[in-house]
Amino acid sequence: MVKGMETLYSEIVVAGCGNPLFADDGFGPAVVEKLKDLKLPENVTVVDAGLGGPHFVFTLLNPESTKTLIIVDIADFGGEPGELRWLSVDELPVGSYRDAHSWDLTEPLQYIKDDIRIRVLACQKKYVSSPEMVIGITDEVQRAIPDAVSEILKEIGVNYGTA
């Protein structure tokens, strides 16, 4: 690595994954939009990783400077629609977490988990329309967005006096 390159990478990266064109799949990007409205510490980067999240996220990390990766996405963990759950990489069964191109994210996350603390904030989906386009998150998942923002702020150590 070129000296000084580590400053291009944040200590904490929050990546919202998903596609707003597929109903609840837009949860991650919606949470990121709310986070971008807030003043966050300089050591935090918040990105809408979109549909290509798994490919894109890994370009934002440097084990020498990145300490924490927070992935925000929908999941089906058998909860109530809109329920939030923090998952560790070890809780993601192999093959359970794939991108739109069926690339399994679990394996590369396993490779980096010893160098970078990885947390996945999952929201139980109600409805994902893929491959048909349906713009709009269901009410249950929409109501989870403020709680997701609050959870992430706690995770990165930011308190706006509302916690």
Q: Which are the contacts of 38, defined by CB distance < 8 A and separation ≥ 6?
A: 149, 153, 158, 160
CB–CB of 156/119 below 8 Å? Answer: no
Pairing of strands 117-124, 84-87: antiparallel
The enclosing H or E element of 33 equals helix 27-36
For 88-146, write each residue's pLDDT tens digit. Answer: 888 776 655 555 555 566 777 777 888 999 999 999 999 998 889 999 999 999 999 99
Query: Quick one: what percent of the chain has pLDDT higher than 70?
Result: 82
Mean pLDDT within 80-89: 93
Higher confidence at residue 78 or residue 151?
A: 151
- The reported pLDDT for the residue numbered 139 is 97
pTM for this one? 0.85
Q: What is the mean pLDDT of residues 41-45?
A: 93
